[in-house]
Chain A
């Protein structure tokens, strides 16, 4: 599904965020990235989303070198990837329902079909009863779940998450991870960046460790 081939990323010519990253993720896998902040977790996700281009090497997704996508194809590429952001990236001037509906609106899904899928996604994250609320009225954990609902509403084959439990207490974090495992069970490929080592250890999934922009360990689940 995803293959990094000797990928390097420099910013401003000097700072090396990633160096010689080489790994693959199979379809249906659930993979964690760990590492201290600045180790390159976010850069890696940004490369997959094609928010950035590698300075060296190739990033292959579904057999295609995504650097070769034309700028006009990038939006259509991004639509096939669900992304959960650490800071949610919700729009505070519209309701929960309309936040979750945003990807479908962008894709031009017919409104009735869109409403059905939004409610299904909200139901999945257990917040169907808050659809009319504004994001500001929700707790941090609830906002994160809205972000997840938005990421999965168009049933992406690949789900990326950047520190999805960053600001949550252990119980809420565990709930969110359980949610991710549910998606993984129905075939979604997941790549989750997290520094919550204790939680990751408990979940027993493949874990890639980054340090100073280098891949230092690739631990398969046992």
Chain B
């Protein structure tokens, strides 16, 4: 009994104890990992329902996030097609137009240009409207020559600056850039991102509550066992360990089910989505959760399960101890 407070132990015995304690610690982790899994398997239905509840809570924010991710791809594509149109003055002839195009091309913020002469503009216009003959009656071509400019950067501010510079060139009548829809799209995407984040936080809390409540019941049903092991010298970590593993298993199960539900939903929606996209002449398919995304989802759900268990056991340990 001379060694009662741990600090009173001799240094050497403390050292040998450390390595064996570490081994014992790892062994207990191993045993509890398997033991807690067995406890889940022994009551498959109830535990499956818990995992399903977790899965449903995870699917909604994950699906929204996926949708936003694909919208971001679409967004990038659209930004690439963002151009400025430089309208030249009516009196500018073809040679002057070529010179202006060269001047435009010389700008550092310009990636590429394409000159559309007044005649080509007329032809495109007619084709686009399907009015082959209606404009033939016009004596003069009312359209000016124009230059389509692809900017180096699709950033709205950069495009704004470029448009300012180009409008000051000689022979340039007007510069048009349609930024409003890009801005709108950006705001929409930002809104979606914030919504997804808020949902993720809310549903993450939901997962914590589901796991916490399940673990609370498990602690309650093993209350006597906890009291006995604490009487004979179990540390809190020892008591907590099996429940933490149970929580983590709930998270793993819920995460896997969520991945399954997402795949299922993808199959269910992919046909109408691609049909819809095709009707707009675009090729767009629903995004799949890739390996990195799946790993993130699974880690998050495992972590949430573990955390939920930790909170529940911590609260109940203090209530048991105070008795």
Contact = CB atoms under 8 A, between A and B. Distances in A.
A77 B235 CA distance: 11
Interface of B is mostly: helix
A107 B228 contact: no
A150 B228 CA distance: 12
A76 B2 contact: no
B234 A62 contact: no
A79 B235 CA distance: 10
Contacts of A75: 230, 233-236, 238
Contacts of B27: 108, 110-111
Given A69-B5, A73-B5, A77-B4, A106 B232 contact: yes
Interface stretch (B17-25, B84-92, B271-279): B17-25
Given A62-B1, A80-B1, A73 B233 contact: no
A134 interface: no
Contacts of B127: none
Interface in B228-255: 228-236, 238
B28 interface: yes
A61 B1 contact: yes
Given A108-B24, A108-B28, A110-B24, A61 B4 contact: yes
Contacts, number: 81
Contacts of B10: none
A72 B3 CA distance: 16
Contact of B232 (A27, A79, A189): A79
Contact of B24 (A27, A93, A102, A109): A109
A72 B95 CA distance: 90
B233 A107 contact: yes
Residue with the highest number of chain A CB atoms closer than 10 Å, among B225, B231, B233: B233
A69 B7 CA distance: 10
B235 A108 contact: no
Nearest first, the 5 A-B pairs at minimum CB distance are A108-B24, A79-B233, A78-B233, A62-B1, A157-B1
15 contacts: A73-B5, A73-B6, A77-B4, A78-B232, A83-B232, A89-B227, A102-B228, A102-B229, A106-B232, A106-B233, A108-B23, A108-B28, A109-B24, A110-B23, A189-B1
Given A1-B1, A61-B1, A63-B2, 14 more contacts: A49-B231, A64-B5, A69-B4, A73-B6, A75-B236, A78-B233, A79-B232, A79-B233, A85-B231, A102-B232, A110-B20, A110-B27, A111-B27, A150-B232
